Chain A
Amino acid sequence: MLDVAVAYKRYLFLGDEFLTWIWFQTETDHQQSLFKSADPDLTALEIGHRMVLENRRNDALERITIKGEEANLAEGRLALRKGALVAEISLNFRSADHLWQFSVKGESLNLGNFKTPKIAMPEGPEDLEGFVLEKAYLYDKILQFLEKIYILFIKERLSPRWSSAVVPGMKKWMAST
């Protein structure tokens, strides 16, 4: 295995490609069957209110931050056509009446602004263990989901299908308005 610090820098692009692929999947796989294979409880995975795109081509870093409303997503696709990739994305994970909101950074896969469905705050020390265990379960549901879809992505990324089918499909999607 590579040195961790070296690997972090060397594979910065991999996380950005992963987030771009998530966006592509949400817009082209209308049944979301791939995401549902990672968590059958999923009702919908939606793009949230914020997305950061970065263009690292030509040794210069260009950063574009957009709000995730429909008109602006077209602006995001335009940035993709110029060589940018998604560096940070906010996502909504819906399961029945429950909603998880969080953002993911491509380079680190760190999660931010992570909101789980609301649960009752502990009223005393006797409630603390139940509260922590329930919160841990709610966080873990998303961590497990992201890990599973990352594995689906990386398996595809390392297969011949990536260049023969996925990249042409993503280019076609990027070209759409």
Chain B
Amino acid sequence: MGIQSPTASISRYRVEGNLEKPMIETVRRGLKSNTIEDIDKDSVETSVGWTSFHQPYQPNFEGPSFIFGTFFVFSLRIDKKTLPPKLLHKHFMLAGAKRLADTGQRYLSRSEKQVLKEQVASRLMQRMPATPHVHELIWNPEGAALSFFTSLKAANEELETLFVRSFGVSLIRLFPYTTAEFSASLTDSERDILQSLKPTDFTKSF
């Protein structure tokens, strides 16, 4: 559901704050220091970071790869491993039986079970490849505007957190209230009315 897909979803942001100059180097530095880390051979459950628009599985921010005209274009990638509960249960049961056979114990205590379960989960995680989720974005630094090509809540939250950490400027979601505040050049009296605005009742005379 991104730029190259037949259909897209977009959530919009205003970029708040001034990027340190030179802008391109600030953005490159932020991208490189927060590039997605591969967790396929790791027991880590989730990895979040930036990746290249044109090579989402081989991120590279050298050269002008993220500069398209006056825009910055790159992607947020979220890699996630989800352990199916039944798979964990199977391997936990097998590991428990082996532990009893090896030690001659008749049963495992609650804490031994807990530790064993964590070990089994960690071992399985290490062998499991992560599923990547790539969400593209177009950032117009001149207009302080950013279009993020998803409306998934979790991805939006990750974007907002990583963006400020990477570039030192923050993102404000543009929804009805913030669009009115930032884009409509409201007068003081209009702003006062907005602050106390109540829903319109269209049913009164029906």
Chain A residues close to B by CB (< 8 Å) = 1-2, 4, 7-8, 10-11, 13-15, 17-18, 57, 80-83, 85, 105-115, 121, 125, 128-129, 131-133, 135-136, 139-140, 143, 147, 150-151, 154-155, 157-158, 162-163, 167, 170-171, 174-175
Contacts and interface: CB of A to CB of B under 8 A. Distances in A.
Interface in B156-177: 172-177
A114 B202 contact: no
Interface residues of B, number: 44
A125 to B, nearest CB: 7
B184 A7 contact: no
A139 B202 contact: no
B181 interface: yes
A151 to B, nearest CB: 5
Given A8-B175, A139-B10, A158 B194 contact: yes
Contact of A4 (B11, B178, B190): B178
Is chain A's binding surface mostly helix, strand, loop or mixed?
helix
A173 to B, nearest CB: 10
B111 interface: no
A171 B177 CA distance: 24
A113 B7 contact: yes
11 contacts: A7-B175, A81-B202, A108-B151, A110-B10, A112-B9, A113-B7, A114-B9, A132-B71, A150-B180, A155-B190, A167-B202
Contacts of B175: 7-8, 11, 15, 107-109
